[in-house]
Structure 1
Amino acid sequence: MPRPKSEFEGIYPCEFYEPEELLDADVMYTIGEIARLLQGLDPDADVDEGTEAVIVDWAVPWVMVNADDLVVGEPPTDDDPGYYGLRTE
């Protein structure tokens, strides 16, 4: 249900990182690692399963919106996740 803005202690600008601000040009990342970076965490930070699900929900649209600035790496095996990196060409 919608809530009035007055019910919130703080309201902040909705700003997202640009790919070149977030990703190291020489590294490939999983969606989970990108999700952590978007939250200001280390890509290998330990987060609980519920938190990971929420932050990944934010990361997937970010990857889609920034697809023109990203590359995709073939997963090492069929059971491994995909990897994304900064397009440098």
Structure 2
Amino acid sequence: MPRPKSDFDQLYPCDFYEPDELLDDDRMYTVYEIARLLQGVEADAELDRETEDILLDWAIPWVVFNAEDLVVAEPESDEEPGYYGLKTDGER
């Protein structure tokens, strides 16, 4: 159910990192690692499953929105996530 803005103590701008601000151009990241980075957490930080699920709610739309600036690599197995990286000039 929608809530009135007045219910909230503070409202923030909905600004997200640009891919080149978030990702190193020589690295590939899982969506879980991207989720952590978007929240200012180290990519390899240990998080409980519930927190990680919440962070994914932010990361998946970010990946979709920025898809034209990213490259994708297959996972190492069917049980692992794929990898995303910053598209470099040679890959455009």
Pair in the same fold by TM > 0.5: yes
User: Which residue in the other structure is 1:73 paired with?
Assistant: 73
Q: Structure 2: any 5+ residue segments left out of the alignment?
A: none
Q: TM-score, normalised by structure 1?
A: 0.94
Structure 1 segments of 4 or more deviating over 4 A?
none
Instruction: Check if 1:23 corresponds to 2:23.
Output: yes
Q: Distance in 2 between matches of 1:55 and 1:85?
A: 18
Q: Distance in 2 between matches of 1:79 and 1:10?
A: 40
Deviation at 1:16, TM superposition (A): 0.6
Instruction: Check if 1:62 corresponds to 2:59.
Output: no
Q: Structure 1: any 5+ residue segments left out of the alignment?
A: none
Q: Distance in 2 between matches of 1:68 and 1:12?
A: 27
User: Which residue in the other structure is 2:34 paired with?
Assistant: 34
Name the Cα RMSD after superposition: 0.9
Q: TM-score, normalised by structure 2?
A: 0.91
